[in-house]
Amino acid sequence: MSLFGDLRIIYNMAIRPIRGKSHAERMDNFYSGQAADYDDFRRRLLRGREELWQELLKEPCENTVWMDMGGGTGSNLLFFGNALDRISKVYVVDLAGSLLEVAGQRISSSGWKNVETAEADATTFIPKEGTVDAITFSYSLTMIPDWFAAIDHAYQLLKPGGRIGVVDFYVSRKFPADGHVKHSWMKRAFWTQWFAFDNVFPSPDHVPYLHKKFEPVFFEERLTRIPWFPNPFFKMPYYLFIGRKPL
Ligand X SMILES: C[S@@+](CC[C@H](N)C(=O)[O-])C[C@H]1O[C@@H](n2cnc3c(N)ncnc32)[C@H](O)[C@@H]1O
- Using CB under 6 A as the criterion, which residues of the chain lie in contact with ligand X when the complex forms? 27, 31, 42, 46, 49, 70-72, 75-76, 93-96, 99, 121-123, 138-140, 143-144
Nearer Cβ to ligand X (73/172): 73
- Shortest reach from residue 74's CB to ligand X, in Å: 8
- Shortest reach from residue 205's CB to ligand X, in Å: 17
Alpha carbon distance 186, 239 (integer Å):
19
Nearer Cβ to ligand X (39/133): 39
- Shortest reach from residue 131's CB to ligand X, in Å: 19
Alpha carbon distance 139, 87 (integer Å):
23
- Shortest reach from residue 29's CB to ligand X, in Å: 10
Nearer Cβ to ligand X (31/241): 31
Distances in Å between the Cα of 4 and the Cα atoms of 41, 66, 117, 159 are 11, 35, 29, 45
Nearer Cβ to ligand X (45/83): 45
Residue whose Cβ sits closest to ligand X:
70
Strand duo 158-169 + 132-138: pairing: parallel
User: What's at 114, amino acid-wise?
Assistant: N
Distances in Å between the Cα of 21 and the Cα atoms of 11, 18, 24, 25, 28 are 21, 10, 8, 6, 11
